[in-house]
Amino acid sequence: MTGVLFGTTDVVAPSTSTDRIREHIDHTARRVDHYIDQLCPGTPDGSCAVWLPPGHTPAPDDACAQDLARRLHGALSAPVRHLTDAGGQRWRPVLVWEAIGLLGGNSEEYGPLIAAMELLHTGSLIVDDVQDASPLRRARPAAHTVFGVPAAVNAGTAAYFLTDRAIRLTCPQDPVVSGELRALFMDVLRAGHAGQALDLQGHGEEMDRAVACGDRDALLALVRTTHRLKSGSAVAAGLEAAGVVTGAAPALRGALAAFGAAVGTAYQISDDVADLQGVTWAGTATKHAAEDLRGGKVTMPLAHAVGRLPQQRLRRLWRQLRDGGGGTPEVAEACRELQACGAVTACRTEADQMVHSAWADLRRLLPSTDRCHVLHDLAVAVVQRHQVA
């Protein structure tokens, strides 16, 4: 039996081609961009309604209304649009869009809610770049280098609350669904900040212990947990939100959340692997090679190297990275050793198995339609995006 991405005859379909998946992502991303414009316009028009809560928006004939809209746009919308207009894969909202359709819902009806997921992610990137002093994001200067640190932090955190506006736009007459969506949103913020706290602290002490004793299990568990909180929780909430708005049963909602957490976490593991070579987008560097290693950050490849590299070599390599003593030749050599010892392969295997296992649990609960494979193939393409030669 042969299958196609949008086939109408096949119930079971093989993995679709990378080109068809890319086309699907691009098409849906354009729809998401339409709702990004609605939630966070590229012009000052409507900025008061976007950023001010109900009851605080001035009347159109108010003397300050026009100036207020202009200033709110410049301070809050412009830093966010600086990143969204730079592109990005939009894969998180694309997964949610597909999940709602798969569950029988109308994705267009929930467009603002889906777009809010991308804007929440964008806000977190703005703040993350400040905290990491990152100069680049999506092949352009990071927001804080353009608008200044105070404005970037304020705009990034304000973007989180566009989710509340999206809920008001999509579910105004359903307090139960609105309440469940807001609860998911609050959980994401709590989990994301906990993950960021662990990431900012780093895992140096745990790496020291792992290097000393040769046991990587506790270290891997901590790095994995950080990735799940920081990256997996948002995808989990997005897919569970798809279950909420379509009235899915609790078991299906839980399986959707577990699949989202697996995809988000696996994506971050893949991103750790990509750090070793650097990241490009449309032919332009968006992340320099080995940025994390140069900064002494404990990533999944480095954690997986424990027990795989000879202990003496690992101890010397870690001391060099931790103390900031590695120049370009030393870091390049470290990247080659992580590849040669099997640490990179272990990361890829873990990420793939994580998604495969969560999908197997979810697939049993999904309706038997010919579109089931699309959600799976989108997720696999996201996780393996850096694994294609």
Closest residue by Cα to residue 33 from 143, 111, 142, 121? 111
Looking at the fold, whether 251 and 230 belong to one and the same domain comes out as yes
Residue with the two structure tokens 């040669």: 340
pLDDT score of 353 more than 80: yes
The answer as to whether 43 is a domain residue is yes
Beta-ladder partners of 308? none
- CB contact at 8 A, 250 and 278: no
pLDDT band at 40 (very low <50, low <70, confident <90, very high): very high
Indicate the residue among 121, 149, 170 that finishes a domain. Answer: 170
pLDDT bin (cut points 50, 70, 90) of residue 96 is very high
Q: Which residues pair with 285 in a beta bridge?
A: 280
Q: Is the pLDDT of residue 294 over 50?
A: yes
pLDDT of residue 3: 30
Amino acid identity, position 131? Q
pLDDT at 21: 77
For residues 192 and 161, membership in a common domain is answered with no
In a domain, 8, yes or no: no
In the predicted structure, residue 278 carries a pLDDT above the cut 70: no
Q: How far apart are CA 64 and CA 352, in angstroms?
A: 55
Q: What pLDDT does residue 134 have?
A: 87
Q: Region 192-197: what's the mean pLDDT?
A: 97
Residues of the domain holding 88: 26-170
- Same domain, yes or no: 210 and 352: yes
> 66 and 331 in contact (C-beta within 8 Å)?
no
What pLDDT is stored for residue 23 in this prediction? 81
Entry pTM: 0.90
Burial 252-283 (b: 16+ CB within 10 A, else e): bbbbbbbbbbbbbbbbbbbbbbbbbeebeeee
pLDDT over 90 percentage in the chain: 70
Longest CA span, the chain:
73
CATH number at residue 79: 1.10.600.10
Residue 5 lies in a domain: no
pLDDT exceeds cutoff 60 at 12: no
| Region 83-95 average pLDDT | 91
**Alpha carbon distance 376, 80 (integer Å):** 30
Each residue's pLDDT tens digit, 306-317: 999 999 999 999
pLDDT at res. 9: 24
More confident residue, 75 or 384: 75
Mean pLDDT value of segment 34-63: 90
Per-residue pLDDT, averaged over 2-8, amounts to 28
Q: CA–CA separation, 312 vs 44, rounded Å?
A: 59
Q: Are residues 204 and 351 in the same domain?
A: yes
**Residues 221 and 133 reside in one and the same domain:** no
- pLDDT higher than threshold 70 for residue 261: yes
Q: Say yes or no to pLDDT of 77 above 50.
A: yes
The domain boundary, picked from 119, 138, 170, lies at: 170
Mean pLDDT across 115-138:
94
Q: Where are the alpha helices (DSSP H) in 55-110?
A: 65-72, 78-84, 91-102
- 14-18, 39-43, 285-289, 357-361: range with lowest mean pLDDT: 14-18
Asked if residue 16 belongs to a domain, the reply is no
Same domain, yes or no: 120 and 236: no
What is the average pLDDT across 317-329? 80
